[in-house]
A and B are shown apart, each in its own frame.
Chain A
């Protein structure tokens, strides 16, 4: 289990009205951790927020989790299913 993936999942589940629709995929690309966050259609606004402030907060906290593993993190936010 990865801290980055788990952290993004916990945060996204708290922010959305349909937490069971939240899915997070993680993959490694040349020393960078790519995290793809999928939320229910129509709930993108909940995880992006006004002027992207919530998305920025998610990226900050995902990076904090990545810091423990010494890896930079890229977070992509998408709706629907992987």
Chain B
């Protein structure tokens, strides 16, 4: 597992060096795959513009190294835990809406979500007894419907 991660860490180090950003790569192995976080204050430049540079870097890593990982594993690229913080917020919001759906009996939904974000919502609501989720929408804009289990 570490073997597949090493080239990605080396790539990220080459990238930050080229960018002239002083940072280190922290590696955390999870069942979903390695989480790579760029630490060091200068990595803040990647979290600007609502994290667009980070999304772009994630895409390049997926294209270049995604297939080298075993099974269903996925690399997760972050800087200063910016995306991790966003994920925690999304989880909290999903659980809050699940409770609301149970109390009111009304379906709840978040704004448009990408596949990664929808997965977070599904997994978060699955931890709330009595609430259920369903992905809805077309190819261009999907979201997750959160409702009380009937």
Contacts and interface: CB of A to CB of B under 8 A. Distances in A.
A40 interface: no
Contacts of B15: 7, 10-11
User: Looking at chain A, what size class is its interface with the partner chain?
Assistant: 20 to 34
A51 to B, nearest CB: 12
User: Looking at chain B, what size class is its interface with the partner chain?
Assistant: 10 to 19
In the complex, the 5 A-B pairs of residues with the closest C-beta atoms, listed nearest first: A6-B18, A57-B56, A60-B56, A14-B64, A57-B59
Interface stretch (B45-53, B84-92, B103-111, B138-146): B45-53
B18 A49 contact: no
B60 interface: yes
B2 interface: no
B60 A7 contact: no
B20 A61 contact: no
A69 to B, nearest CB: 9
A54 B46 contact: no
Interface in A3-62: 3, 6-7, 9-11, 14-15, 46, 49, 53-54, 56-58, 60-61
